[in-house]
Structure 1
């Protein structure tokens, strides 16, 4: 573990009147003082500084060391999203899955997706591709992971009252069409998110975040 008091990230500050605020500097500079001992430290980052989008606990760590540490603590839920028309929500789903430490993210359909929304978290989050729903369902059956669809159907069960299994995969349809008939047929249940306004649906990336947090509230150890 890091023992050095690392400098805080600099926050944006206002410039002179009429000028935009200074750009916020992310991360920390070169390590100050004797280098720490341990295989997980990255000599290049210790020398040059660490400007990655990682929590302070992982500052100056090697990439592979961070992934290994995350793998030892990952939660038992998976997330899947259908990608038949290049859904732009996938990056958001991957980023949120990383934040909640999902086991894996599964992309069903097209392999290519826009990584901008992931904010580089796809380097730390395992992402698996399934060309078809059939192959995804075969994986879930082999792994013994129940499939739970999240969409607004007349027979959907409220997510707010559903007991989520510890091991499961939460599946989301792409923006607009929602879950495909094939995924709906394979799902153990379909879950709906309570809505109280005028809109007919919730953005797929937002819905994924809500559903993942529902699992966290039921199963995660909060310290």
Structure 2
């Protein structure tokens, strides 16, 4: 069995120490990080980079899907959704409803992800229309088509409801497409953060260039 570390086996320390040797002559690098080390939750490609430089580089890599989640009851899953959207390089995350949300689950990835707020669904629809994005609602309700057998639009907003009540009825009725996730157990629904991850990865399988993955 190989003793080399795998991509998720980070050992006992996170990040890297001070830059060894002469510093690189590149404006993307942060002098403070070069001097003291970089303990942030970023892939090795972005070690020692300034935050602004990371965001600019990610903007060249982002995919054509957006993610939206309703926040009418201060949903605690939004941080998880943001973190997953960052991992899959979503174009942006849209929060519909309350502006405030719990950032703890985002694990600081919100610093690298474009996040927009919309007071209501009508505002989100307006954004989608303006940017030529199909609105894809995700909910296990009657009339939804199985995502496992559905071609997702390349340019789209994936809309998720909050934990408990799920999507509002007007969210489903106003969507261009409503998809469901196949389930086989006793529970009516899965966690909103988990559902978002499943659907985002389905988009990745259908549209992303996997040769660009880390």
Tell me the residue number matched to 1:111.
99
2:172 to 170, 184, 195: 184
Structure 2 unmatched ranges of 5 or more: 1-8
State yes or no: 1:157 paired with 2:145. Answer: yes
Tell me the residue number matched to 1:199.
187
Number of aligned residue pairs: give it.
Answer: 203
- Indicate how the Cα distance of structure 1 residues 134 and 10 shifts in structure 2: closer, same or farther if over 3 A, else same: closer
Mapping 1:51-130, distance limit 5 Å: 51-130=39-118
Tell me the residue number matched to 1:133.
121
- Indicate how the Cα distance of structure 1 residues 58 and 139 shifts in structure 2: closer, same or farther if over 3 A, else same: same
Tell me the residue number matched to 2:6.
none
Q: CA deviation at 1:25?
A: 2.2
TM-score (normalised: structure 2):
0.93
Structure 1 unmatched ranges of 5 or more: 1-8, 12-23
Which 4+ residue blocks in structure 1 deviate beyond 6 angstroms? none
Cα-to-partner distance string for 1:120-150 (whole Å, 9 max, x where unaligned)? 0000011100011111111111111010000
2:159 to 168, 171, 180: 171
TM-score (normalised: structure 1):
0.89
CA-based RMSD of the aligned residues comes to 1.0
Q: CA deviation at 1:72?
A: 0.8
Cα-to-partner distance string for 1:88-108 (whole Å, 9 max, x where unaligned)? 000000000000000000000
Q: CA deviation at 1:10?
A: 6.6
